[in-house]
């Protein structure tokens, strides 16, 4: 009798878990890489950042999915980038819209690459990087080394999400759009997903990005292999 009761409770629990899972839907993960720079290009007015998205839902219409997003956008707390300063200073991690407002005030032109499908592990790693940046222990320096996440520039803060190479694969020979473009190409060439076959453009209006003057470069326009133009510093 006791075994029958336990079996019944187990089956009921399994059924409830299935109902909850089906009601919640499936999880999908995405990333968008951003770059901005002034014209003419001045190092003080360049920035690289990335937004990571978790979408939960099922069915063909992704517009019905629930969307969660966070951003890695590491800047000095003053928002005044001192390019050649040797001393680290207090940093701040802005959200997506704070970043767009900040670079807009400096009249930087914004380009975005993506959205890209990413694996759950990459999304979760981005959460850990964001937690470190938001901890109050991390500092900003416009030119940092790859080794110490607690002292970081904007490029290395995003590069820390790379699950294979981390920050070591991103030397500061590129800044602004070239740096962001290089990160986007790493997603293309090493992704577990065929980015050329995925249309994730529904995320652009969903995040309200269609209301900003942003040049959008979808995955289908990003070469999978090495290209000469990707190596140029513009």
**What CA–CA distances, in Å, run from 4 to 10, 161, 205?**
10, 49, 53
**217-223-224-225 Cα dihedral, nearest 10 degrees:** -150
The pLDDT value given to residue 23 = 47
Q: Which pairs from 220-229 meet CB under 8 Å and 24+ separation?
A: 220/195, 220/196, 222/113, 222/184, 222/185, 222/188, 222/195, 223/185, 223/188, 224/188, 224/189, 224/196, 225/189
Sign of CA dihedral 147, 149, 151, 153: positive
The pLDDT value given to residue 195 = 85
- Cβ neighbours, 10 Å, residue 92: 17
161 CB contacts (<8 Å, ≥6 apart)? 50, 52, 72, 122, 125, 126, 129
**DSSP helix/strand/coil, 186:** helix
Q: Look at phi and psi of residue 82 and say left if phi exceeds 0, alpha if psi is from -120 to 50, else beta.
A: beta
- Give the C-alpha separation, 13 to 178, whole Å: 52
Q: What is the pTM of this model?
A: 0.83
Instruction: Name the token pair of 118.
Output: 């990413």
The pLDDT value given to residue 165 = 52
Burial of 215 from C-beta contacts in 10 A (0-12 / 13-18 / 19+): exposed
pLDDT by position in tens, the chain (length 234): 444 443 333 333 434 333 333 445 899 999 999 999 999 999 899 999 999 999 999 988 888 999 999 999 999 999 999 989 989 999 999 999 999 999 999 999 999 999 999 999 999 999 999 999 999 999 999 888 777 778 999 999 999 998 655 555 555 567 789 889 988 988 888 788 888 888 999 999 999 999 999 999 999 888 766 544 444 444
DSSP secondary structure string, 122-153? HHHHHHHHHHHHTTS--EE-SS--SS-TTEE-
Sign of CA dihedral 193, 199, 201, 206: negative
- Give the C-alpha separation, 188 to 204, whole Å: 19
Alpha helices in the chain (DSSP H): 2-24, 96-105, 120-133, 154-159, 177-190, 203-206
Instruction: Name the token pair of 109.
Output: 């032109």
């Amino acid at each position: 009798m006791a075994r029958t009761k336990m079996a019944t409770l187990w089956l009921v629990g399994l059924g409830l878990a299935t109902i909850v899972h089906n009601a919640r839907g499936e999880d999908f993960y995405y990333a968008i890489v951003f770059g901005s720079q002034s014209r003419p290009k001045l190092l003080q007015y360049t920035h690289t950042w990335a937004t990571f998205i978790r979408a939960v839902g099922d069915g063909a219409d992704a517009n019905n999915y629930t969307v969660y997003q966070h951003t890695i956008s590491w800047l000095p707390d003053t928002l005044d980038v001192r390019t050649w300063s040797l001393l680290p200073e207090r940093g701040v991690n802005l959200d997506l819209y704070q970043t767009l407002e900040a670079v807009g005030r400096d009249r930087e032109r914004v380009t975005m690459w993506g959205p890209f499908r990413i694996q759950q592990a990459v999304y979760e790693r981005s959460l850990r990087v964001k937690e470190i940046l938001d901890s109050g222990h991390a500092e900003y320096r416009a030119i940092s080394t790859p080794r110490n996440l607690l002292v970081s520039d904007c490029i290395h803060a995003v590069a820390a999400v790379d699950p294979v190479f981390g920050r070591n694969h991103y030397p500061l020979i590129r800044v602004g759009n070239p740096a962001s473009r290089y990160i986007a190409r790493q997603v293309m060439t090493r992704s577990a997903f065929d980015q050329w076959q995925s249309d994730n453009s529904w995320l652009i209006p969903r995040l309200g990005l269609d209301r900003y003057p942003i040049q959008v470069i979808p995955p289908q326009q990003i070469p999978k292999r090495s290209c000469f133009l990707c190596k140029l510093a513009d």
